[in-house]
Chain A
Amino acid sequence: MAADLAESIIERDEFIVTKGKNKKQLKCDADSSAGCVSQRACVYCGARVVLNPITDAIHLVHGPIGCATYTWDIRGSLSSGAELYRNSFSTDLKEQDIIFGGAKKLAAAIDGLVEKYQAKLVFVYSTCIVGVIGDDLEAICSAASRRHNIEVIPVESSGFIGNKSAGYRAAGDALLRLIKPFESTVVEKNNSINYLGDFNLAGEAWIIQNYLRQMGVELNVTFTGDSHYTALKSAPNARLNIIQCAGSMIYLAGKMEELYQIPYIQISFLGIEDTAASLRNIAAALGEESMIVKAEELIAKETARVENIIKGYRAKLEGKKAAIFVGGGFKAISLIKQFREIGIDVVMIGTQTGRKEEYEIMNELVDDGTVILDDANPAELEKFMMEKGANLLVGGVKERPLAYKLGIAFIDHNHDRKHPLSGFEGAVNFAEEVYSTVCSPVWKSLTSLGMGSGVENHG
């Protein structure tokens, strides 16, 4: 286990367990330790990830330029309509603004943008600096809101107030303000459902929407992939919320249950097993016989279509070992099952912001000896991947070069992916991607040049 690591950082011990060896509870949902080279971003990042897919909103960052630069159009969320969300607007605070305050600049920025783009919705993201210089975001936004008769919603996302999860919560609060019915509106319940925690990366929300349509389930609005102002406003009318990315959405779902009496169920469309189970659960939750029948038809048809393809990949991948380090717990859990579908065991698993309940499920699902870790850093990822003999890593942009430098295959499971990994469609893509990287011929070339005698294999 981690404690015998010569270079281990003591504060990190509680965040790492090996299944079967430790009885201790894994620590999670805590601030990152200084100097640990955490892979996490900040509160602002969490909030921006969740809200950015809202296509017809102005996303205005109140702060110095960097926060807007590093988040400009870096996500693969697709839109069927507006493209406004693909811009990164910033008040570009400078030294004099820090001294004299940025309130006037912000008000003028909102005025200018609303006039130019005619948007009905503006999100104003707070950054570290705003939290310190004390610009009254609430007052500025509500004044602008009255001036233009549109929604101008402040997002309390100062980077230092917590970790990425705090950003999910800030986004949840912003969404709750957005969907709050006008006083004159009576919430009329209909038969539709809301889909929470799909950001329509590479059209994933569209794939799921098609499934639901085939089952006769009406989708009200997706939070927040390919969503827009008017659709989001109707959210309280739905009769059920289904949640995919629980890390970012469980808070919002809880609040919607409390405020609008919308119950929620957790689902996952990653992998055949979870996709089929989720479709069944949705039909069961809605309780209509025709949906249950249609769900079974859909599952049977789609499973038949993809089963053999996946089996083909499984034959080539059987026995390989995977390491997982992703953002949220829901994704990690699904990945364990999805890897099993293609014959791969998980030997290391961790997340940036997984919750206690999610880690408990991971612990149940993995084999003895698997390392489970929260908020890992490159040194730990390297150590455990090498120790456990992982053949591939699933992660994001920052983890990719590390895997490649170690000579290990890699799966991009991040927000800028260009191909869908959801549903039956996505299960095939996933298997194909795993095959394309694990079985690539490049690994055969990783030999070293010997002294005169040709090559010596290092792999």
Chain B
Amino acid sequence: MAEKNKENVYFRNVNENPCNMCMPMGGILALKGIEQSMVIVHGSQGCSTYMRRHIAEHFNEPVDVGSSSLNEKGTIYGGEKNLRQALDNIRKVYHPNLIGIVTTCLAETIGEDIERITGQYLIDKEMEEFPIVTASTPGYGGSHFEGYFFTLKRILMQLTEAAEKNNKINIIIPNISPADIREIKRMLALMQIEYVLYPDFSDTLDRPFAKPYTKMSNGGTKITEIRSMGGAVATIQMGITIEDGISPGKYLEEQFGIPLYNIAIPMGVESTDAFINTLVEITGKKVPESMKQERGRLLDGMIDSHKYNFQGRSVIFGEPEMAYAVTKICVENGVFPAVVATGSQIGKFNQLVTAAVADCPEQSKILIETDFSHILAASKEGKVNIGIGPSDGRYLTEKGGIPLVRLGFPIHDRVGGQRLLSVGYTGTMMLLDRITNTLLESKYKSYRSSMYEKFYQQG
């Protein structure tokens, strides 16, 4: 069914069990990391509800997202009336400091000009200063991964000014867990770095229980901080796989001349070193002793586990950025990445992963813009014994008997996706332990019976 057109790229007529979500989903996640913001999805009611459900089940948090609830009339005559009504109602109930509007397939296909509509709305309401940010994110235009970074770029384009120079570093955060974001903040604090973290959903999508409940949660990147990102000393963007066209860091570099350090998610020794070294390079600060100790403990643990890990043959799947970072960890620890796959269509992915697996004793299979039926087939062929990625990979467990280390977004069949810590030296150690222990569990489950079957002969 799949016609192999170019190396590793499949053009096909049917996707069998998707390994990606759609563009507006990424837009919502990005906007959830802005302080006191609300999102409106311009499209039919279902888009917003489905995405809310998907996000709520992963984070176990209330996820309120508005919809312009386009109906037949709005589709034929235009959705301006619906969008204006949505803006009115969202403002009335939630009193946000910023509203983000992301579009859908429907809105884009009927040619909605949301910038004009929102511009006119603000004029009519005499509130031109109120920040409404828009991002055109048709579901057919790319995956949630592109939607996430594109929306981040759009927010910068609409809010960030040529600000006075400051001492801060912009840290652009990919779709990692709230626990990961908090860990990065802890590392930055240890290094005594001044920074703007963008976006920051570590509190908004993982808030502590507190009474009374408020509709809007605390936390998130402040609007004033976003405005000031044009005056930073540098940008560190954890987005090595993203294309320049949707790169928020690239935008800041081109627009305001802010040096961009595009790095991988700090997972694994090499990538975490790169993050720390970049901070040192930019600021000249010293690496604190405690950080060195964390690193030393990771090295110690890697040595302790290396023989177990050597038995791992992994299938890594999910968003390109996460899949790349996990590939690096696997390679560092002798877990052979037999299959590395993403549902997104990202040109740089193939090249980056190919370089990362260059020293492996076997050839890895790299799949781009793929689906789970292809991932399963490649995993069987590659004799995979461990999967690493979001919970949709349970399909690989069910159909291929591949045990799964759940990582990334979404995780729907286990609790705690928002609490999974996998970045930095300490987080890497925790992820590596999850990987090693999954391999060990398989081993303990089967070694008695498999040895018995293999060797025992009745005398």
Binding site for B on A (CB under 8 A): 7, 9, 11, 31-45, 60, 63-74, 87-95, 97-98, 105-106, 108-109, 112-113, 116, 127-129, 131-133, 159-163, 377-379, 382, 396-398, 400-402, 404-407, 446, 448, 458
B residues 8-64 touching A (CB-CB < 8 Å): 12-18, 20-22, 24-25, 40, 43-54, 56-57, 59-64
Central interface residue in A70, A74, A113, A400, by most chain B CB within 10 Å: A70
Q: Say yes or no: A161-B72 contact (C-beta < 8 A), given A42-B49, A70-B54, A108-B13.
A: yes
Instruction: Tell whether, in the assembled complex, residue A397 and residue B392 are in contact, meaning their CB atoms are under 8 Å apart.
Output: no
Contacting pair B56 A60 (CB below 8 A): no
Q: Is the CB of B65 within 8 A of A398?
A: no
Contact of A128 among B43, B85, B86 (CB under 8 A): B43
Which B residues touch A9, using CB under 8 A?
89, 92-93
Set A7, A132, A397: member contacting B75, Cβ < 8 A: A132
Question: B255 at the A/B interface (Cβ < 8 Å)?
Answer: no
* Most chain A beta-carbon contacts within 10 A, residue among B25, B69, B94, B110: B69
Q: How far is the CA of A69 from the CA of B47 in the complex (A)?
A: 12
Number of B residues with CB within 8 Å of any CB on chain A: 76
- B residues near A407, Cβ cutoff 8 Å: 209, 211
Which of the candidate stretches B139-147, B268-276, B295-303, B378-386 sits at the interface with the other chain?
B139-147
A108's closest neighbor in chain B, by CB? B13
Contact of A35 among B24, B63, B66, B105 (CB under 8 A): B66
29 contacts between A and B (CB under 8 A): A36-B69, A36-B89, A37-B67, A38-B67, A41-B46, A42-B49, A42-B50, A63-B105, A63-B139, A64-B138, A65-B21, A66-B25, A66-B51, A69-B18, A70-B51, A72-B18, A87-B16, A91-B13, A92-B18, A112-B1, A128-B104, A160-B106, A161-B71, A377-B93, A398-B63, A400-B60, A401-B59, A401-B63, A448-B210
Report how far A97 CA is from B109 CA in the complex, Å.
11
Q: Does B83 contact A (CB under 8 A)?
A: yes
Q: Are A45 and B50 in contact (CB under 8 A)?
A: yes
B87 CB-CB contact with A under 8 Å: yes
Taking the closest CB of chain A, its distance from the CB of B209, in whole angstroms, is 7
Separation in Å of the B349 CB from the closest CB of chain A?
17
Known: A34-B85, A160-B75, A446-B209. 10 other contacts (CB 8 A): A33-B89, A35-B68, A37-B90, A38-B69, A42-B49, A66-B50, A98-B138, A160-B74, A162-B72, A401-B56
Task: Provide the bound-state CA to CA distance between A72 and B394, in Å.
Answer: 12
Q: Shortest CB–CB separation between residue A116 and chain B, in angstroms?
A: 6
**Which of these, A133, A163, A404, contacts B45 with CB under 8 Å?**
A163
With A and B bound together, what is the CA distance between A64 and B74 in angstroms? 20
Cα-based distance from A105 to B83 in the complex (angstroms): 33
Compute how far the CA of A397 lies from the CA of B12 in the bound complex, rounded to whole angstroms: 33
Which of A89, A402, A405 has the most C-beta atoms of chain B within 10 angstroms of its own C-beta?
A405
Q: Is there contact, CB below 8 Å, between B105 and A64? A: yes
